[in-house]
Amino acid sequence: MTDVARGRTLIPKLRSLSRFTFVDVVLWALRISVLMVVVGGSVGTLIKGRYGAVQWLEFLTFGVTMGSLYALVALGYTMVYGVLRLINFAHGDIMMTGAFSGYFVASALAGRGFLDRDPVLAMLAIMAVAVTTSTTIAVLTERLAYRPFRHVRGLAPLICAIGVSFFLEQTFRGAFGAGVRAYPDPKWQKGAISVLGYAVPILQIMVVAAALVSMAILYLIVQRTKMGTAMRAVSEDADAAALMGIDVDRVIVFTFALGGAMAGIAGVCYAFIFKQVYFYMGFTPGIKAFGAAVLGGIGSVPGAMLGGLFLGIVESVGPALFLDGIGIPAPYQLRDLIAFILLIMVLIFRPYGILGERMAKKRA
């Protein structure tokens, strides 16, 4: 029985076995208050009409952009969880390593004017370096930190993963400094393209395109190649897969490499959007992306994509739509709050996610 399945059955069990109905009261109060904020806030905002259609579209495109990045990172969580049943706590930091190594290439290229002159080639070079770094680091962490815990259940692997996360962050802090470094800001990224009459920034189109292409490639790898089939087999049942002659170690390394590559691409895109890199930058998007993976149904590749997009859109539209309407000052400070509340609500009420039901049932 997996944690996913347990979480699903425990709440009804508590309800029937315990006389402490106040737990249910609190849980229902939580549900209702979140619902009230969502509905009340939306109505309030729409009545006030402070935002026009253009602004909503801006929120939406930004949400889709961020969502596709969350989806890329979430893929790493979900695939590793699929084959290892481990939350790779350090995955957000692996994204950071990609962004950081991309920074050095990007600033070197920008310094020589190459990033402005030949954007496609320059972006490809940046991505290539970022992907190489993040993939290498992902594989190394697997080999050095996670492999010894391959057959260990319980808290030890998770604690080790937390340690890896800190270790990576602090290593980068020591090697490259604690300060925030500014990512180059080429002119072409500031332009916009008119889509159906709305101006959409080129940067956002580029990010979404990069994410879509990588996800398509990943999907093909997982669905069509031999290695992808092996990955799916291991995530169904590692022992049976080993008996069928699949080299489980190799599959796990491959999974980490694939997740690391996606994280590297996401890291570069993330850094170009926010125009900065620092050693701690991977933490928050990492946690949010984990939330997205759970939201989509952990272990499910399409689920991670869906969950990422959903999270990105809710987080981007949410402050204006839900919080402004109930009169909260400076709602954009609470963007992370929305993401975290969504994460917790999912973990509490629907730990098997949107697309995870089939999996949870099978493993129950």
Partner 1 sequence: MSAAAVDLAERVSPGNRSLFRRALRVGLILGVVAIYGATIGILPLMDARWVIVDMVSLGDAALIAIGLSAGVLIAARTRSLEFWPLVPPSLVAGGVAGGLLALLALAMQAFPLRQIFIALSPGLLKSLTFGLGASRGGAVLIVAGASLAVLGAALTRAPEGLRKPAAAGLAFVIVFGVFQELIQIMMQSGGAINALRQSIYTWEGLTLAGALIIFFLASGAAFVWTGWLRGPARERFMRLSPAQKRTAKSARVVVFILVLVLLPVVAGSYIGQVMMLVGLYILMGMGLNLEVGLAGLLDLGFVAFFAVGAYATAILTADSPHALASYTAIPSLSYWAAMPIAVLASIVVGILFGIPVLGVRGDYLAVATMGLGEIVRVVVQSDMAAPVLGGAQGILQIPKPRMGGFELADPVHLFYLTLAASAVAAYFAWRLENSRLGRAWMAIRDDEDVAQGLGVNLVKVKLLAYGLGAAFAGLAGSIFAVMLTSVYPSSFQLLVSINVLALIIVGGMGSLPGVMVGALALVGLPELLREFGEFRFLFYGAALIIMMRVRPEGLWPSATRRRELRDEAGEAALGELEGTATRPAPRAPDLQDTEP
Binding residues for partner 1 (CB under 8 A): 3, 6-7, 10-11, 14, 17-18, 20, 22-23, 26-27, 30, 86-87, 104, 145, 148-160, 162-171, 173-178, 283, 287, 290-291, 294, 328-330, 333-334, 336-337, 340-341, 343-344, 347-348, 351
CB of 364 to partner 1, least distance (A): 13
CB of 131 to partner 1, least distance (A): 18
Q: Give one word for 362, left, alpha or beta, with left for phi > 0 and alpha for psi -120 to 50.
A: alpha
Closer to partner 1 at the Cβ: 221 or 345? Answer: 345
Identify whether the C-beta of residue 66 lies closer than 8 Å to the C-beta of residue 315: yes
Closer to partner 1 at the Cβ: 56 or 166? Answer: 166
CB of 18 to partner 1, least distance (A): 5
User: Which amino acid is residue 307, in one-letter code?
Assistant: G
Closer to partner 1 at the Cβ: 64 or 238? Answer: 238
Closer to partner 1 at the Cβ: 286 or 312? Answer: 286
CB of 51 to partner 1, least distance (A): 19
Closer to partner 1 at the Cβ: 54 or 159? Answer: 159
CB of 157 to partner 1, least distance (A): 7
CB of 255 to partner 1, least distance (A): 17
Closer to partner 1 at the Cβ: 43 or 348? Answer: 348
